[in-house]
Structure 1
């Protein structure tokens, strides 16, 4: 056996590279996708800590030592800690008893829940901070702590639950921002660095590579076009920055795979919202306070082996068009029932869920190219994505639905396999309420037929049915409601 002597320079360089881009060991992996939700706050969180930098010489033997420190010196001041407080009413079965209240007048009626997350300053002049919707969801108070220790209340600008992006505004001077990169230029293997506030211990930096781009099909996470990375992303990292080695923001950290919750530690499967998607949502929220979504205006179903054979597809995949809505983008593009969409803008479409996810990520007015199979022949269709309303008043559809408002299902439910429309509200004493409809019901079909979404639901009332019956899911039960 031959012994090889390593020079001090080689040893030192190897150690530095291992520290900067360290690997990980993973054992069993089970399907447990967890949003890296804000972690419970410590009683008295300490000021954000600056990333530790090893005291190494800049040059050894005439060779420079690679370091992330210069880039991080620009990035870390723009990553903030987000603190939320939510008042939660305590359900006490004796609270309505006058004798109990007289004997125990100081029994608390509510409790304060606190949590921690992360955020990224993307516009220093206006004080705009990007974070995750789930970090601030339901919060009564939100405050932000800067890397220099300053803490201030944050103003809510807007949020989009379906992409898990939220925007806040902070009133502070001397802020530093992170420029947004073109996340579409990311490639598998590119080095990335995650900065956030995991477990509320203070600002922390981890590194890794891009493991995949355009990742979707993860249950319960809304519209999906994730960057996957093996950089350590743990609870509390939600809303933190994923940057490239130029210090540009390529993504907002949002979720991680974890087999046994936060106690299992990081196993190298983290997901981030691409900067290009976050930029689009940010622009809409700042300008209008809401996000407009586009639609092609069609219903589809999965391609079964029998259908694949009958339609001469050659492969069992795609979204089979079952209905084209009148006046829709699909109708204007010439799509017909029986067409099978197998790709959109070059992205493979494996199922109707893939097509729905693709539609929801397209800006209104954008033109998309669809690869279609029709009667065994391949053709290319171009369509302009059109606006889709977020909700509809029942009386605009049918007088028997007066008092109810219908909305699209939250995308996280669609990704879990749900279909239909959500009953967003029901006015007390209204006709819809007297017919038994309740807020939170999910309508999955009517006597006019089935549908995929709000556009399909609305299309069923082009010619109102003589007898209107709704097939409704309420909790874990499903039943029918005749509308009088």
Structure 2
């Protein structure tokens, strides 16, 4: 009897466990989003971009017949192709109006001789390139067709980290592939090869691969919240879960300008900036490291005309907080030139508001006007641990300086060494005091209090920057 009772008990417990597992699985499935409706409704507006371009491939610099046969076999150079070669490439895009406007990436159609747009029903149209914007990696095309399906641009401000997102595109030429994931981060800074940084990228773990470029990123409402643009990848070229999309507020701004005029104009401030680390933050009197530190100002730019100065730390621009230097170009670039905005700065350890009229940076302006992160008889500055001398006139003239001292050597484990000073640096200011001569520099250093934190403005390999230096007690 006892044995029978134990067997029944075991079966009851097993049944209860099975029911619990089934209910848990059902609850988990209920929490996962259903993408089928979004795919069915929105995929007809997603297109495949087919690009044809000619590339010149030069032949060898020497006559192959003059190379010994065994070397020709070794280097595999029997008959290298000569002259122009045809290049075929594919990407993704999506329609934003019923009269044929199509958005894709700039790098997808760059240098194209012929751009073809293929719809989901396999209709193909030759596309006109309306405008290109390499700074945002966006392009606007148009095809000659009417009554087309199109997508709606959402609001980037409503998108949250951790939210589900969905991508549709043509990875590796596989048309209308669907992948999903979550938003991993917002406002990622990925400077271009020219060191420009105007796009606060969305980071996702959506599987994006070559061919997805230019395709839409959707939220669960079926709205476009981004344009897939870049991936971090392995050497094999596959997705590793780090994908980046251009946020929809940038897309809307750029597309509207390209549609209206074929070009893009951005807000411009005319400053060189650098990040604020712990030492700099302490030396400037900040409660924590934040803001964009102005290390240089263009002489005729909006910043100079408004009264901004090197050494000012911008902590808010047009009511937008500036946590790092990379945030500033993102904010300023979206402001229409000619707009007057309030800029909150820290100067002489006090907060101050300055009104600035934002200038304009056209698509073909020199990169020298764009934002960039900061680059990086002898007398001994004993308290700092450096040997300095007067900056020669040739150096002052070359960098348009009114004075300064050159660091010739740095003592190991000194305050200067810990701050990162290097031989060849030209110190032009200590705190708010300009260094006009070696004598002035010695006087300033002699008056510094023990344990004080002070910012040094210097020129390193031609680039202005600040570093924070802390004296020993």
2:96 aligned partner: 122
Distance 1:171 1:149 in 2: 15
Q: Do structure 1's residue 337 and structure 2's residue 304 form an aligned pair?
A: no
Shift of 1:130: 0.4
Unpaired stretches in structure 1, ≥5 consecutive residues: 22-66, 98-103, 393-406, 420-444, 451-470, 474-484
Structure-to-structure mapping, 1:35-434, within 5 angstroms: 67-93=34-60, 108-125=82-99, 127-217=100-190, 220=193, 222-263=197-238, 266-303=239-276, 307-325=280-298, 328-331=301-304, 333-345=306-318, 347-388=320-361, 407-408=366-367
Higher relative contact order (CA 8 A, sep 6+): 1
Identify if the C-alpha distance between structure 1 residues 213 and 288 changes in structure 2 by more than 3 Å, giving closer, same or farther: same
Q: Is the CA contact (8 Å cut-off) linking 2:267 and 2:361 kept in structure 1? A: yes
Distance 1:105 1:261 in 2: 28
Q: Secondary structure at the match of 2:235?
A: strand
Distance 2:80 2:328 in 1: 55
Distance 1:196 1:85 in 2: 19
Identify if the C-alpha distance between structure 1 residues 17 and 207 changes in structure 2 by more than 3 Å, giving closer, same or farther: farther
Shift of 1:448: 5.2
Distance 1:109 1:197 in 2: 31
Q: Secondary structure at the match of 1:4?
A: helix
Q: Is the CA contact (8 Å cut-off) linking 1:293 and 1:388 kept in structure 2? A: yes
Distance 1:94 1:373 in 2: 59
TM (norm. structure 2) is: 0.66
Larger radius of gyration: 2
Q: Secondary structure at the match of 1:336?
A: coil
Shift of 1:129: 0.4
Identify if the C-alpha distance between structure 1 residues 107 and 226 changes in structure 2 by more than 3 Å, giving closer, same or farther: closer
2:468 aligned partner: none
Q: Which is further off, 361-370 or 285-294?
A: 361-370
Identify if the C-alpha distance between structure 1 residues 367 and 253 changes in structure 2 by more than 3 Å, giving closer, same or farther: farther
Distance 1:278 1:446 in 2: 43
Q: Secondary structure at the match of 2:136?
A: coil
Cα deviations by residue, 1:115-153 (Å, 9 ceiling, x for unpaired):
11100100122x100001111112211111101111121
- State the aligned residue count: 359
> Higher helix proportion, which one?
2
Identify if the C-alpha distance between structure 1 residues 446 and 86 changes in structure 2 by more than 3 Å, giving closer, same or farther: farther
Distance 1:350 1:293 in 2: 21
Q: Is the CA contact (8 Å cut-off) linking 1:222 and 1:410 kept in structure 2? A: no
Shift of 1:202: 1.3
Q: Secondary structure at the match of 1:180?
A: coil
Distance 2:375 2:110 in 1: 22
TM (norm. structure 1) is: 0.64
Q: Is the CA contact (8 Å cut-off) linking 2:284 and 2:349 kept in structure 1? A: yes
Identify if the C-alpha distance between structure 1 residues 233 and 376 changes in structure 2 by more than 3 Å, giving closer, same or farther: same
Identify if the C-alpha distance between structure 1 residues 301 and 414 changes in structure 2 by more than 3 Å, giving closer, same or farther: closer
2:18 aligned partner: 5
Shift of 1:187: 1.4
Cα deviations by residue, 1:70-128 (Å, 9 ceiling, x for unpaired):
2322210110011111211121137999xxxxxx9996522211111100100122x10
